[in-house]
Amino acid sequence: MYMRHNFRHRFRRKNNTLNKNTSFTDKTLSSPDHISPQVESMQKKYEEAEEQIAHLKNIIFHQERLCLVGRFAAGIAHEVRNPLTIIKGFMQLLHKDLERIDKKDYAEMVISEVNRANHIIENFLTAAKFNESSKKKVYLKQFFAEIDALIQSEALLRNIQISINLEQVDSNCATQMDSQEIKQVFLNLLKNSAEAIEDSPNKNEGYICIKVIQKNEYIKISINDNGKGMDDVVLSNLYTPFFTTKEEGTGLGMALCREIIHNHNGKIEVESEVGVGTRFDIYLNRSE
C-alpha cells in the first residue's frame, strides 16, 4: 500500500494562489510504472539472498556430517587397522601352504577383504584430517605425469583408453595444492569412471579423457568418460556422505573429493546423462 502525500502547498505563490505549471501530487510517485522496476529489483535481490542461504545451509550440513565422520574415525581407525595388518601378514605367510592343498583362493579372499577394510579406514582417516592440508606450489605438467604413471597399468587391466591432454598448458603453469589430496581426488574420479564404463554397454570401447586448460587466473581440469552415466537421484545425492549405489562402497569418496577441492578454494561441477557418460570439471586457482 502506497502512502499518499500532497505537495501542492510547496508550490503556491506569495499571494497564496497555486502555480499550476509546477503543481503535482503523489500520482507521479505512486505510479506503478515508476515503482515497478524498484520492486522487481528488490524481489530479485531477495530471491538471490534466499538461494545463497540455502547453499550455505547445504554446505554446513555436509561439513557437520564430515566432522562427525572425522571424530568417529579419529577414535577407532588406528585400533582397527593394527589387527587387520596382522591378519593380512599371517594370511600371506599361509598362502603357500594353502596353495599346496588347492585352497589358495581362501587366502586371496581374506587378503582381498582385509584390503577393502583398510581402504574404508583410509577414507575415514582422510575425513578426519582433510583440514590439515599442506599446500605448496605444484607444476601441472609434472603432477599429471605422476597421475599418468599411476593409472596406465590399471587402464590396461580394465581395457580402457585413458588420455591426458596438456596441449593448452605451458611448463610453468602451477597451482598451490596438497598434491597427495588432489591426487586422491583424481584417482577417485578415475576409479569411478572406470567402474561406470565396466557397467555400461561401452565396456569394450571405454575411454576416459582428461583435459587441462589454463586461463589467466585459474586452471580447468575436465574428466570425461563414456560410462553408464548417472540419473537425477544419484546426481542430487552425489556429495552426500554415506550415500552410495555400490555394494562395497562407503559413500565417502565424492563427499571427500568435494571437501578437498573446496579446501583448495576451488570448485567441482558435474554433468551426466544415463547411457552416454559423465564429465567432471574442476577449477583451481593459478599460482604465480
- The secondary structure element, H or E, covering residue 220 is strand 218-225
163 versus 3: the higher-pLDDT residue is 163
C-alpha cell at 7: 505537495
pLDDT tens sequence across 104-157: 777 777 777 787 777 767 766 665 555 556 889 999 999 999 899 888 877 888
Q: Domain spans of the chain?
A: 55-129, 136-285
How much is the average pLDDT of 198-215? 91
pLDDT at 7: 43
227 versus 68: the higher-pLDDT residue is 227
How much is the average pLDDT of 224-241? 91
Return the SS3 of 169.
coil
Residue type, 222: S
pLDDT at 49: 72
Which superfamily, per CATH, for 136-285?
Answer: Histidine kinase-like ATPase, C-terminal domain (3.30.565.10)
Q: CA 258 to CA 265: how far, in whole Å? A: 11
Q: CA 139 to CA 173: how far, in whole Å? A: 6
- The secondary structure element, H or E, covering residue 135 is none
Residue 229: partners with Cβ closer than 8 Å, 6 or more residues away: 196, 200, 272, 273, 274, 275, 276, 277, 278
Q: CA 147 to CA 177: how far, in whole Å? A: 15
φ, ψ of residue 182 in degrees (nearest 5): -65, -35
Return the SS3 of 90.
helix
Q: Does the pLDDT at position 9 exceed 70?
A: no
